[in-house]
Structures are given as C-alpha cells and as structure tokens.
Amino acid sequence: MGQDDCRADQRSFAMLLTICCLVTFGCYFAVSMRLPVVPLYASGLGVSTSLIGVINAAFYLMAGLLAIPSGMLSDLFGRKRLAVSGALILLAGMLLLVFARSFFHLAVIYLLLGVGIAAFGPTMMSWVSEISPATHLGRAYGWYTTALFCGLGMGPAAGGTLGDAFGYQTVFLAGAALSAFNIYAVQRFLPAPGRDAVTVKTDETWRSNAVGMLTNRPLIGCWLVTFGANIIGGVFFSYLPLLAHDRGLDAGQIGMVFLLQSVSNAISRIPFGALSDRLGRRKHQALVGVLLASLSIAGFVFARTFFHFLLAALCLGMSLAIAFTSIGALIAETTEHRFRGLAMGGYNSFIYFGLMAGSIGLGPVIESVGFAYGFMLAGAINLFFVAFFVWSMSGTFQNEPRNSN
C-alpha cells in the first residue's frame, strides 16, 4: 500500500471516529442530565434512600441483561440499526420522566432507559473497534471514551444548573429534546452497514463461540475487573448526591462534582490511551488504574467542603481513565473481529451489573451504618476482582508490540 493510500485510510479512520465520538457525546449528555436530579426528585416524592438505589439499579439491571444480546444483534444485523433503536428508546424514557409521580413510575422508566442504553452503548463500542487499526486501539478508545465521559460529565452539570433555575421537570424535557436531535444525527451521519457488516451465522457457530468466550481467561478477567471497578461507580452515581447534599452542597454544586469526575476521566483517557499504544503494557496500566480507584472512593468519606468533593472527584476520574482505556483495548485484542459485538456487549453488561451492585447492594449498608462504611466497602470489594484480574492476565501479553508512531 502506497503512502497516499495510507494517508487516505488515516483520514477515513479519523472521520469515522469523529462521527462516532460526536453522536456518543450527544446521547450520553442528553440522558445523563437526569443524574443529579432524579435522586433529589425521588426524595421529594417520599422515596427512601435504599429505594432510590433500587431505581438506579433498575437501569443498570436492564442495561446489563440486554447488552450481550444487543451486541450479538449488532453483529448479525448491523450497528446503525441498533444505535438508532437505542436512541429512540432513550428519547421515550426521558419524556416519561416528566410524568413520573411515584417510586414505581421511576423504576419502570429506568428499566426502559436501560433497554435504550444497552442497544446504543455496545453497538458504538463495537463500531470503534472495527474502524480502528490495531496500532491505534488505545488512542481510539481514549477519544471515544473521552466523548462519552464528557457527555456524562457535562450532562449532569447542565441538568443540575437547569434544575436549580427552572425545576426538575424542565431537565427531563430538555434531555428529551436533545435526545430527539441525537436520533437525527445518528440516522443522518452514522454510516450504513458495509457489505460484510450483516452476516448470517449458524447456531453451531454461536454455540462454539460462546464456549470460546467462557474459556478465554483474559477476556473473563477483563469483564470481572470491570464489574469490580463499577461497583465503585454505582456507589458514586447513586449516593454522592445524597452525601454531598447532607454536607451542604446544592444541586448545582453536585452537578459540578459530577462534571469534574467525568471530565477528568474523559480528558485523561486521551494521553493514557496513547501511552497504552506506545508502551504496549495494557494489563499493567489497567492494574494501576483499578487499584487507584479503590483508594479514590475513600476520598469522599473525608470530604467536608465543596473543594474536598471536587478533589476526590478528580482523583476518581483519573484512576478510572487509567484503567479503562487499557481494558477496552485488551478486550478487542482477545476476541475475533466477527464476534466483537458479543465481547463488547459482555463488557457493557459487566459495567452495568457492577453499577447495579454498587447501587442496590450498598444502599442498605449506607442506610444502616452511614456513607463512610458504604464507600469504603465498595473500594474493598473491588480489590477481590483486582486479584482475579492479576491471575487471569498472568502469562499473557508478555511481549506486546509497541507502536513507535
């Protein structure tokens, strides 16, 4: 291949990755506007702390259960179809939040939102792995997850500010309007499936692939350490608003804490993704990140002022960035191209199951013995999965190629 062809391929890769990043940012920005608002909205309706955790867990449960089937469907029927379907479901969920008046309403709506994100998230992650050269996987996931976490960070900041100024239901309407625009963007700008994007796979092929997945030790290790780290995330997203509110922060300040965590997470992924490609030591980078995540969650236990909360959020965001840029690339490297959707679906499932476990599992602990024990326990549980990850990666990728570009 000549230099002109190489440059053309690089331009095509950059353009496709940019499209993916923009539509992903739009989706997560719109949907995450609800994050600092719904716990406070639910509390105003008389919902208890533990039941607020159940509401968040409903979202994570549905997203986790459906991420693998959605990934498989995207392998079979194409990425664009699943992405558009997911975006439509998310729009419906944001609109329905306007009419929620009880715990039951909120829980059912969060189940629906989980269906939507399960269809959208694994599809886009699989698409990134398909368009990215092997030497640029770390950077591609760095940019992609930067867009995702900028959306997750800026959305709550905007939602908290808007909720303070105009009320909680205005936040839900604004999120729905932005979701509608994002559907147009996905439909208009996301490329249609190529000629080999939709293929027919026999039952025997899928059965043999499932067996292969269950015996792929590095892949299982990546999935499980993802689960452990996201227990920490589940505690943060579900209970940080309540902890911060108890210590004197208002909704706007809570939104800013979410913003700093997500933006530091996002921005850090670009340099750490490039470092992952250059050094070729993804498993070591992932290990450092997940260990730091366990330490970072403890920072919120000692936070007493707005500045303390911001500092703890900064540390947590950076530690997750260090870990997950490498974990995403490791998963792509351990699976065949044609089953990438299934692998990324599993990755997303363990993200959401971890978030669910942190949200619903730590709720009763926090309600009975306080925030400090709940946050510290989340970090301790993560260490168990870190140990399994170390074992699963032992003897693998000892001579990972380095990219000198």
Q: What is the pLDDT of residue 109?
A: 93
pLDDT reading at 317 higher than 70: yes
Residue 231 CB neighbours (<10 A): 28
Domain 10-187+215-393 - what CATH class? mainly alpha
Q: What is the pLDDT of residue 226?
A: 92
191 — alpha (psi -120 to 50), left (phi > 0) or beta?
Answer: beta
- 142 and 130 Cβ atoms separated by less than 8 Å: no
Query: How far apart are the C-alpha atoms of 211 and 289, rounded to whole Å?
Result: 30
pLDDT reading at 399 higher than 90: no
Instruction: Spell 130-168 as b/e; 16+ CB within 10 A means b.
Output: ebbeeebbbbbbbbbbbbbbbbbbbbbbbbbbbbbeeeb
Instruction: Spell 322-361 as b/e; 16+ CB within 10 A means b.
Output: bbbbbbbbbbbbbbeeebbbbbbbbbbbbbbbbbbbbbbb
Helix and strand tally (H, E) in the chain? 15, 0
- 147 and 32 Cβ atoms separated by less than 8 Å: no
Read off the amino acid at residue 308.
H
Task: Provide, rounded to the nearest whole percent, the portion of the chain with pLDDT above 70.
Answer: 85
The CA distances from residue 164 to 30, 157, 167, 243, 318, in Å, are 17, 11, 6, 18, 28
Signed CA dihedral, 379, 380, 381, 386: sign only: positive
Which is higher by pLDDT, 325 or 306? Answer: 306
DSSP class per residue in 255-268: HHHHHHHHHHHHHH
**Secondary structure (3-state) at 122:** helix
Task: Provide, rounded to the nearest whole percent, the portion of the chain with pLDDT above 90.
Answer: 10
Tokens of 82: 């699943």
Q: Which residue has the tokens 């990728």?
A: 397
Which is higher by pLDDT, 199 or 309? Answer: 309
pLDDT reading at 155 higher than 70: yes
Sorting pLDDT into bands at 50, 70 and 90, what band is 240?
confident
Evaluate if pTM is beyond 0.75.
Answer: no
Sorting pLDDT into bands at 50, 70 and 90, what band is 140?
confident
Q: What is the pLDDT of residue 374?
A: 84
Q: Residue length, the chain?
A: 405
- The one-character DSSP state at 134 is G
pLDDT reading at 188 higher than 90: no
Tokens of 78: 């194409």
- 327 and 221 Cβ atoms separated by less than 8 Å: no
- 68 and 118 Cβ atoms separated by less than 8 Å: no
Mean pLDDT value across residues 215-231 = 87
Mean pLDDT value across residues 337-342 = 68
Q: What is the pLDDT of residue 113?
A: 93
Sorting pLDDT into bands at 50, 70 and 90, what band is 400?
very low
Mean pLDDT value across residues 223-242 = 88
Q: What is the pLDDT of residue 135?
A: 67
Q: Which residue has the tokens 């024990």?
A: 373
Mean pLDDT value across residues 330-341 = 72
Per-residue pLDDT reduced to its tens digit, 23-76: 889 889 998 888 888 888 888 888 887 788 788 778 878 888 888 787 777 766
Mean pLDDT value across residues 231-260 = 84
Least confident of 176-185, 329-338, 390-399: 390-399
Per residue, the 3-state secondary structure of 175-193, as one string, reads: HHHHHHHHHHHHHHHCCCC
